[in-house]
Amino acid sequence: MKKLLPAIFLTIILLPSSASGQEGYRQAGFRSGYHGGIFFQMNFDAGNTEIGYNAMLGFNNNGIQLTGLRIIYERAILDISPDLYFCWGYGGHAGFIVTDNIMYLGERYNFPNERFCPVFGADGWAAFEYRFRKIPLNIGVNIKPFVELTMPSFVNVMPGNLGISISYIF
């Protein structure tokens, strides 16, 4: 399993953009926050808007989570800056944590020893992203609320998962 995840991530990064049949651009970077991590994203023009597909690999609570998002970019907010974009999206995540306690509805539940706990969830996405024209760099402020099911039978709701993302465009 430890060898399979890096191989899948490298395959996604190295996948040429021409394989999709559309031209777009790629970006890779990192996101801070509770469910932060490294990410790879492909963006494509779709009529009057731009669509991005984001794959993020996060590490928290002694575990790993893979998140997939579909992000819709609104055209530039021209009143403020032609390089400032608002985007929103949705997706999901799956992975696992290894812990000896879980917070549920404000209460902590302790286990006698550490447990392997699979997690599955649904994610939302809203962000403001600034695109630099002279250098291949994007900086964004985002919120990624989520609801997840942690086995054994715990539901975690995080309405305010704020983060900052920095990415390199190639």
With cut-offs at 50, 70 and 90, classify the pLDDT of residue 17: very low
Residue 158 lies in a domain: yes
pLDDT given for residue 36 in this prediction: 86
What mean pLDDT comes out for the span 89-107? 86
At 4, phi and psi to the nearest 5?
Answer: -75, -40
pLDDT given for residue 91 in this prediction: 97
| pTM for the structure as a whole | 0.78
pLDDT given for residue 166 in this prediction: 96
What CATH number does residue 89 fall under?
2.40.160.20
What would the two tokens of residue 100 be?
């000896």
Q: What domain range includes position 78? A: 23-169
Summarised one tens digit per residue, pLDDT across range 109-165 is 788 888 888 999 999 999 999 999 899 999 999 999 999 998 877 888 888 889 999
Residue 12 lies in a domain: no
Residue 151 lies in a domain: yes
Residue 10 lies in a domain: no
* Mean pLDDT of the residues in the chain: 84
What mean pLDDT comes out for the span 33-55? 91
For the chain, percent of residues with pLDDT exceeding 70? 85
Residue 1 lies in a domain: no
Residue 165 lies in a domain: yes
Domain count, the chain: 1
